[in-house]
Amino acid sequence: MSGLGLLVLNLQGGKIGGRWPQALPLGRSLPFFPNVYGTPPLAMKGGDPYIRALMRTITASEANVSKPYHVIYGGEYVSDLSTHPNRCILINKKSNTNQCSTAAGRYQFINTTWDEKAQRYHPQVSGLFWWKSYSFEPEYQDAVVYAWLSDSQGWGVDISQLLREGKIQEVLKLLSGTWTSLGYGKETNFMSRYLPQIYQNMLAEELKTSIYSQSK
């Protein structure tokens, strides 16, 4: 999975007019400092605010657009998610001639990774014994990633605990083998360097939401 090469320019440090701004297709490098706050809230409700903040941070470099659940490789929006992430979009790079990418959604899942992780973590499976179907709707994109990041056996470490210890750089490095735009992989982009600060912004927001929910 790799970043879309899209950037949200937010001149007010957050939402503009109550809405998340549209992303601008500016490529993978910029000659100026982008003022970036964070990413839209998750579709799923509840859960560990540290993991939720990490999920929103991954979005910042992978699908930094106003509707991340519905974006596919190259920046195109799709309304129908029933065929994703199985639509292969041609990669327009000389080094990747005749190759394509199925990356889709908030976490830019490619089809093989989605199939593997959905089999293990998807909360609602449909289909017959020999054919399974895993909904790619927003709440399920979140549910699969949340369960995956929360699985200490799957990663060999307790990611939530590392985050509570303030080790966001260590976590990003760990995840960069999967999400290569996080700053240590082969597709570092212009958002990568800002991810630790974006994480802090998102964590503050998620902790505030969590405290409010518990007080109700």
Residue 115 lies in a domain: yes
Is residue 151 situated within a structural domain? Answer: yes
Strand partners, 109: 104
**Model pLDDT, residue 215:** 63
Rg (CA), the chain: 17
Per-residue pLDDT averaged across 19-24, rounded?
35
Distance CA 210, CA 194 (A): 24
Once rounded to an integer, what is the mean pLDDT over residues 118-146? 86
Instruction: pLDDT band for 95, please (50, 70, 90 cuts).
Output: low
Contact present, 136 and 84 (Cβ < 8 Å)? yes
In a domain, 34, yes or no: no
Between residues 42 and 85, which one has the greater pLDDT?
A: 42
Burial 164-198 (b: 16+ CB within 10 A, else e): eeeebeebbebbbeebbbbbbbebbbbbbebbeeb
What's the chain's average pLDDT?
A: 81
Please indicate, yes or no, if residue 29 is contained in any of the structural domains. Answer: no
Output the pLDDT for position 14.
37
Domain that holds residue 203: 49-67+111-215
Q: Identify whether 174 is part of a domain.
A: yes
> pLDDT tens for residues 140-156?
999 999 999 999 999 99
**Total count of domains within the chain:** 1
**Among candidate residues 63, 61, 54, 62, the one with its CA nearest the CA of residue 158:** 54
3-state secondary structure 9-60: CCCCCCCECCECCCCECCCCCCCCCCCCCCCCCCCCCCCCHHHHHHHHHHHH
72 in a structural domain: no
* pLDDT confidence of residue 128: 60
Looking at residue 18, what is its pLDDT? 38
Q: Is 43 contained in some domain?
A: no
Is residue 139 included in any domain, yes or no?
yes
Sign of CA dihedral 95, 100, 104, 108: negative
- Residue 132's H or E segment, with its range, is strand 131-134
Q: Which two tokens stand for residue 72?
A: 């596919």
Structure tokens at 45: 């409700």
- Local confidence band at 86 (pLDDT 50, 70, 90 cut-offs): confident
- Whether this prediction's pTM lies above 0.85 is answered by no
pLDDT at 159: 99
For position 130, what pLDDT does the model report? 58
